[in-house]
Structure 1
């Protein structure tokens, strides 16, 4: 009988009388709308609306996409408004459960009802149906307010579901109800917005003022053991992103309190459960890295929790020593991951020395420790050797005394980075009260205010004697004949318009400060402010970078706004201006924003186009940092005090040999979204040009017969030769009238940022890609292996390697990581049948060979197996392509494959015997 009544209400009453019912906006229990919602607020009512929505959608999609009835869109809009009103509130799920279980008897019926609840609210079908209904209703111009249909928004629905779980938990539920809440919580984590769900539950059940931490423990206790590991790892990620990453590597009183508070919260969650402690040990020593990409704060907090159990902290140290000294791990793991595990080893060693000094002494006399240090020192990777040295000196400072302390006596150990690593063994954190988590902004403000210098107020000036300015009244003015007033102007420029309503007196002014720029970007309903913000952003960010801390303090917030900004007004050059603003942020703060953009690319909830924009920003920013491009906004951002007057500047620029180089320097104009592809194409042409010239020369016959050809090419070469070279030759020897064929002089550009490109751009991207490959979350893998995105990602890595250049100290490490990534099974499997990914892999290999042109002997010695495998795979690609005019993309791919084969065989021909050991295995 209840089902029949609900069916009549949904199918008859609501469509016909919704306008009348909705006139009373007050949803009180006594109103008609309130009574209707009370009748439908049950699992039967929700399912009836879902079934009705599905029926309307099926009818709408029948008949070649044309609706058979014109009222379908209107009915869909009515049902959408109804279900949103029905489920609104933080106590709706508990109310539905209470109304359904009021007449149930027996555990079997309760279990069946709980399964139906999970299927209805945790499967995500409500989100899918409402989103599809909105699109159809909008397509048929139905009157519907999309902003009120929050059920179609994934983050909003996840937040609503999490808030209902929290509300239910705070009402002292029964054991069955707590179990249902735990299962709903797991469903919420799987809806694609796990960060939103975890943040909501943590802040309300654990961190909120007066919260009972036992509630979160009970919620986690009913989660199956196989799922507790994922939930605990998600908790650690939330703590790192919301509280600890903002602290960086600072070791101040405020940061120590925050780390202690997070450790106390984690300790309350684990509740000394051996299995949960084992999950923390696995997180610290796992192959995926202990908080890869996060600051050291989360590792300090977790180690502090694990240190409460002696056996667990000793296990962390033993596993870390075995892992850090493994030769395969040293050779194949990303350097960012190795740095994270080195930090864990140093932190755990300090705690082991505190609880059991003898155990640490015995470990340092064991063979795993000696092998670990020796394997590190014998590595060809400079950063791997550095980590081995800091680990050796750090642990030796705890155990050995006097002259027995290990001291490598190298400059690398005396730099701030080396001293910071060695100081990790002295850190001793303890789990404490998590009161600082209630107001995390206070510690951040204290840390920021401590950096800003205090300015003393200017001393008050004594009152000047003499003239005194006083206000005169109108009567006194009239009495004084010598005071002559100004006459009114004949016309006012602001009132010159014929229609006074068209005169705008509230025109927005260009932002002067970064906070104004952020406020303009957030005002998405004002066209003028959006336009001014985008036009001003590239210059303003560059101008403010070296003056004060405006850009540093608000860089992440500004970048987040730009990444998610939508072209609501269809502005001209919107994409170009946004791209240039993001490039300005990265160029001015590379060490801060490079890792942030890499993290956002993998972890952020963005579309494919937004992720491709992030890769474009990283590639072009590295290109500019390396000196290959000069942005036109850089000159506009300089203050007038740093430049000569315009006439004098033209006078100096127009004279001297330096003008010859002025035209050769490229300028980074506003670029489209495919700018990265254009840069990759130009670099490819520069790689293949010498090969094409050599092939043309070899095809024209012996060198003796090429005299006429050389003479015929001489004038063309003279015209294209650098003007500076000819001018310098004429100055040094005025008698020379004929220009000789010499190699054109290349402008020397000091690549002073190679280390920044390696550590802040390249390493975070490769390390997070490796972590994504081993991630159990299928969403990350699905996004990463989208063909266009994967091809752009590989080209970005190649451009970063090219920007770092052959003089980079970390070139062996970057070469090994990129080469193994290009030859990985996952990448080559995606390249099968996809020309775009194949071209990206070949471009990466060609870049590797070009940058490592002068060190092919080392490449053959360190990567002999990869070199042989590359030659075989590229030869197979070359033979499998047809080419010709019918397939231009295949022709281009075949050209790239030929270039890689020629460069590879030329490079390894001298050192083929060196690779005999690797060839035996193949």
Structure 2
């Protein structure tokens, strides 16, 4: 596979040119599968072939010309903007290696860990380093034909400074593997020696050096916590050095203090909105340890402990234009994880640590010391992703797909009878005393009237429609109306002065909008037992999914900035001509529709959706069938490369099966839409 530059210089040049042309092709970057970018089974993949071929060139490496090539630089930006982390890291790896080969320094960071393509990148780096080492360690008789051996600095004369009883032998001439251990002469440095870690710790403990530094007290009340994260008096001169300590103390105690105040008095309700504003607006300007995890935990606690105040405030701030994409993701994660906690469902932990309340309640003898307990955590408990909503939605959609398989098996009587005999158990009958139940009801009413007893905890079904799902859907429609109105007002302006509502980092971008639909899907699934689910939540959520999956939300949707203004989109998916849906947005919309249809089948067999909202049901089936058929015909979806294509195909096929299952039950009772 590998060619020598001396034997086949022309063949190596042609191979490298072909690989570069294919690797920088925009269609390959967006639509190729992950196995075509990289593979873990030692098969031929394009990224490894590009780097290894470049590494086999002699000293005038083509990396210098490649680093200055315009198509290569544009392809790197396309790789970095890819939604699949593994494909994105392929472009980052090639950019770093090309910069290193051309004598420059480039480091994207975030290479720690073994997930999402990081392990494969490390293996490829080690392979490239081994290739360089093999070339550098050639014997001297082979190096004499090409160039003179490198001259070494003179050895230090240390015979005068050594004791007489120690004999030092001079190194033999020629190559020696221990030459790297030989000392060389170096000028004496005038700088003082660097302090040791123990000396640095002693200097830090010196009280005379901390004069003028204010110690931030730990807050006891939520008003004090709000003053730390959102000071009302403004920053005075000389207070900038204490900002890092102030934010660090606030993040350290925020989650515990919020949960401690839950259900006792009105202190939490009075300060919840101010705390939401403060924690949402925080930014990691001082590079604090575990900043993102602690801020996320504080917002999760606010949503779980005070949902009637925190959730509407977060939704209101989500549709403002003053926040970054990372801050919007934090808001959506807080809504989804807070709903999971209110519904008493398991919440994924990002940092691998146990929940706060479990650490406070657990008996000390049941755990190892803190250092050993952290050391022996299993790898399955540590999640290195910053998208817990995606993990929750993946499990929910997979469960809905498996239900479709079971429904297909229900049509065979033999399989149904065999499964009932193996799984179903007889129901147990228990006698309930009427006198005891009435006494318990009277006692509960008396406790509520007197205000004593334990605080009443809010369940998610009580607040799902009024404070979570309906405000999120309604505010999105208002925001979309305002954005489209602004686009229409500037449509007559030149292209440079036209307003675009779906740009990068905005709410209507595919990345943010797809995450919002994923969060809404989790909220809809968790609120399945709410009273308003069949009549309000299910049709509203399905209408939103169909609209975002079929209609353009912006004039610039589906137009790729790297392809130029004259290129038309190749996608033939539903939508207006010249526009195409991003794969992430289309997948999230289909998964939201799948969860709605699955919930309707479980609750009432699809009766309310099929009879009261027939148009929505038929529209979802037609939309999913069009998407699935287009994918089977080979249509390319914008941003559909990597693992995204598999999720898109699975979601479209599952929606088609769910619609077919629902319509087969209520087809005779549905209104004939062709007559209407």
TM-score (norm 1): 0.36
Which protein has the larger Cα radius of gyration, Structure 1 or Structure 2? Answer: 1
TM-score (norm 2): 0.48
Q: Whose helix proportion is higher, 1 or 2?
A: 1
